[in-house]
Structure 1
Amino acid sequence: MSTASIETMDQNKISTVYSTPKENKIKSSVSRKIFVVFNYTLLTVLAIVFILPVIHVFFSSISDPYWLNTKSGLVLYPHGINFTGYRLVFNNKDLVRGFGNTLIYVTSATVIGLIVTIVGAYILSRRDMLFADTIMMLISFTMIFGGGIVPSYIIMQKLALLNTRWAVILPACVSTYNLIIMRTAFQTVPPALEESARLDGAGDLTVIFQVLLPLVKASVATIALYYIIAHWNSWFQASMYLQDRELFPLQLVLREILIVNDANTASSMTTLDAVSDANAFKQLVKYAVIIVSSAPMLVVYPFVMKYFESGVMVGAVKG
């Protein structure tokens, strides 16, 4: 048999093995199609369920207050465009001051939390650190068991932090979960990169901020988002440690309006000449406050969304 014939036979075998004729293609089974349809239907229903309350609150905040008081059920369209609720919100000194306080708390606690979390995660991720796993286990134990409210209050009292901004910023500036994410991210960086930097004379701070952080910026963005959302929505610590209303965050003021439903608070908002009936505008103000307090998070979230998935999945796949 000639060499050409052998090569032809080999090519025919290869084409037979790797050929994918139309009749041999894998077709989706009926169960697979049902599963896909069910998933899309379920996700669509969940999306509608999650979006409807947002639509209801937004359209209610710009509707006629007298019509709103007589309306029951969901508001899916605005009835008489009216921005009086937003004018009342921004004319309320407590809300404006609370908004400013929240910005201070969120910015300070997030910056401090990021610095402490990054440095702590770097130290605990070093392979030559003694008892690193034991220390990490003790830190992780705080996710399951905490000291309680009374001991925390006593600590704040002994440190003379009660009724100060630091009482809101310091206790929650580090999250164990975020520390674990950051530590895992540092452990995924090849050790050779750090060794090369140290051969060039780099110190620990140079290694952290110029070598490691650029490689784990997705994780940094993720924990930054966690800190921002947590501090933006925080009100319980402020209610325990703060007595001066000048220091109240926005969420604590919002709680007074939405939950306590104090008539004096609602009446204090009616500073416009066009408002003659405070009770008629009470619901309108509540919806406007919800939109104003939620809008900053809705604006920030899309900018870090591209880092969110990769940052959370760090360390999920080994190998």
Structure 2
Amino acid sequence: MSSHKQLINSSKTDRLILLLNKVLLSLVVLVVTIPLLYVLLGSFLQPSVLLTKGISFDPAHWTIDGYIRIFEDGTIVRGFINSILYASGFTLVAITFTVLAGYALSVDDLVGKKFFVVFFLIAMFFNGGMIPTYLVVRAMGLLNTPWAIILPGAVGVWNLILARTFFKGIPNELKEAARIDGASDIMIFWKVILPLAKPIIFVLALFAFIGQWNSYFQAMIYLDDRSLYPLQLVLREILIQNEVQPGMISDQLARAEMQRIAEMIKYSSIVVASLPLLVMYPFFQKYFEKGVMVGSLK
């Protein structure tokens, strides 16, 4: 009993540290959550109420007019579909090449392994820059096509190193046992390695999808056709350049009313742009935590 009390007394510092961590994390959650809730509620409020009174919880002040306007116009819908296609294609290309290259670099008897590792490390710290990349994309005939968004930058060296580190942590005994059973290298990779690599694959997929979903700079450089614009570029025009499409707001409205409607459309557009990531993350969370921890410990 005395030893138990001594253990409890000696852990007061630990409990204090845990309490401080909880307080700090709660503050971080509030800092992140409050703006999200404000934007979400603002997207459902009448423009006049939002600009004069702020957030209101009175159902009489709520409306879905902002969502109706952006979906009736079609600009946001088209950008949303484009972003889904770009992010999905980018993720598929990134996962395919990153996993294959990462596994190859994890094999000890790979010919020229040191050369490839050094080559990728140099490429991680030094690159040609924006103008040479643009010239390469133009020379390949990718300008003003979806491939200009999907292919450049699909394979990140950091993700490649993370995949290689994960694969090196898989015991060689599993591969040797599969070889004894007559499995080829391709069969070992497909039947043994890939089922064990689900955590790192989901982590890399999440990184690639989020990175491409939030990207708009490449579209600004490589795309001229507005029908190919991703959602983030459309959202940038609405939020930064204040270029709300004419179809979203009637020309007969007064200027002040147009400004109020534009504010509501901005909030609704932000919610639409954030929705896929908010829906996707809970399904990836367990793989995300496991993959990151395994990659950091090996």
Alignment TM-score > 0.5, same fold: yes
Give 1:218 shift. 0.7
Instruction: Name 1:130's counterpart in structure 2.
Output: 111
Higher RCO (CA < 8 A, seq sep 6+) = 2
Identity of aligned residues (%): 38
Q: 1:249 aligns with which of 230, 240, 246?
A: 230
Q: Which residue in 2 is equivalent to 1:54?
A: 36
2 CA distance for matches of 1:21 and 1:196? 49
Cα deviations across residues 32-64 of structure 1 (Å, max 9, x unaligned)? 443233222211111111110011000100001
Q: Supply the distance in 1 between the matched residues of 2:206 and 2:58 (Cα, whole angstroms).
A: 32
Is 1:307 the counterpart of 2:287 in the alignment?
yes
> Among residues 144, 147, 157, which one is paired with 1:163 in the alignment?
144
259, 274, 281: which one aligns with 2:261? 281
Structure ranking higher in helix proportion: 2
Contact 1:266 1:282 in 2 (8 A): no
TM-score, reference length from structure 1: 0.86
Question: Which residue in 2 is equivalent to 1:227?
Answer: 208
Deviates more, 1:249-258 or 1:77-86: 77-86
Aligned residue for 2:263, secondary structure, equals helix
Q: Do 2:45 and 2:56's aligned partners in 1 also have CA atoms closer than 8 Å?
A: no
Q: 1:7-156 counterparts in 2 under 5 A?
A: 21-28=3-10, 31-71=13-53, 75=55, 77=57, 80-156=61-137
Matched, 1:270 2:252: no
Answer whether contact 1:123 1:129 (CA < 8 A) is retained.
yes
State the secondary structure of the residue aligned to 2:240.
Answer: helix
- Alpha-carbon distance in structure 2 between the residues aligned to 1:76 and 1:193: 60
TM-superposed CA distance for 1:69, in Å, is 2.4
- Which amino acid in the other structure matches residue 269 of structure 2? V
Q: Which residue in 1 is equivalent to 2:197?
A: 216
- Aligned twin of 1:11: none
CA displacement, residues 154-186 of structure 1 (integer Å, 9 cap, x when unaligned): 001111111111100000221212111111111
Q: Using the TM superposition, give the Cα deviation of residue 20 of structure 1 relative to its aligned residue in structure 2, in angstroms.
A: 6.3
Q: Which amino acid aligns with 2:247?
A: S
Contact 1:106 1:232 in 2 (8 A): yes
Preserved contact between residue 56 and residue 76 of structure 1 (Cα < 8 Å): no
Q: Tell me the distance in 2 between the aligned counterparts of 1:115 and 1:62.
A: 41
Which amino acid is the alignment partner of residue 105 of structure 2? L
Report how many aligned residue pairs link the two structures.
Answer: 296
CA contact (8 A) 1:178 1:223 kept: yes
Q: Which residue of 2 aligns with 1:191?
A: 172
TM-score normalised over the length of structure 2: 0.91
Measure, in 2, the Cα distance between the counterparts of 1:152 and 1:107.
22
Q: Deviations over 1:68-120 (max 9, x none)?
A: 22246xx3746711100010111122211111111111111111111111111
Name the Cα RMSD after superposition.
2.4
Superposition deviation, residue 137 in structure 1: 2.8
- The whole-number CA distance in structure 1 between the counterparts of 2:281 and 2:290 is 15
Q: Which residue of 2 aligns with 1:238?
A: 219
Q: Distance in 1 between matches of 2:181 and 2:252?
A: 70
Secondary structure at the aligned position of 2:297 is classed as coil
In our comparison, the structure showing a higher alpha carbon Rg is 1
Mapped pair 1:297 → 2:277: yes
1:313 partner SS:
helix
